[in-house]
Structure 1
Amino acid sequence: MPSLWFPIALIALAGAAVAAQPAFNGQLAAHLGSPLRAALVNFLAGASVLGVLVLVLLPRHGLPEARNLAQVPTHLWLVGGSLGALFVATAAWAAPKVGAAAFFATLVAAQLIAALVMDHFGLLGMEERPATMVRVLGAALLVLGAVLVVRR
């Protein structure tokens, strides 16, 4: 269990950072006149930060081999970024309208339901992990919590 503390702490930090992201992007969207423009700036900034990190870590990790790059299925080059763009643009548009708490309550409930289905059926390369009654009850409680948060 001690080996889990660092990843869990990092996840909690990332979660707190993600909670602030729609607020910043909503403000940016208001200034730029479009949630899509705000999402584009978000991804350009993120790509810039990641580009610097990749360059800094290049001596340690090197570059992938060309044959490994050629073996990557086409959809894997596109899907993750496209889903990220959907999230960022939706967050920039919806969070200012419904509030951060309602946005994230709905988002997390939907994420957990989708994740339970993915785990249960082993979808998208995930290892099968049954949707036990306890796990389903946990998800149901989270959905109930989301409903309570959204209802104000």
Structure 2
Amino acid sequence: MTDATVLVYSHRPEVREAVRTAVGRRPAADVGPLTWVECETGDEVITAVDLGGIDLCILDGEAQPTGGLALSRQMREEVLDPPALCVLIARQPDRWLAHWSLADGTLPFPIDPLTAPGVVAELLREHADRPPVVRRR
């Protein structure tokens, strides 16, 4: 697999850093190296995705004022060919919200550095194997 660009979104810099640190620059031998894009606001996320080149978004479900769950749902419904979407959830009972958000995957927060790279690598592989979306006129 070629290089991948991963966007990490949270209004809290320590959450963005925890994700980057746990996943690292190369989550698997066949994935990466990763380029990280950090976003602090929901508007920054939408702008970055609209510009293209993002392979995976990791979205903080508890970000303020726009939560990552809502952003995931918005992108799934409004972006023709969205990147892979992963949401951070702090409570296991919130998994139903992750399902509602139409995210491709979830990561628990605090993030586990033993499992996070595998989840990210699998989401990137699945995204790379997906056929491109073609607009019909």
Common fold by TM > 0.5: no
Q: TM-score range by the shorter chain?
A: under 0.3
Structure richer in helix, relative to its length: 1
Structure with a larger share of its residues in strand: 2
Q: Please say which structure displays the higher CA radius of gyration.
A: 1
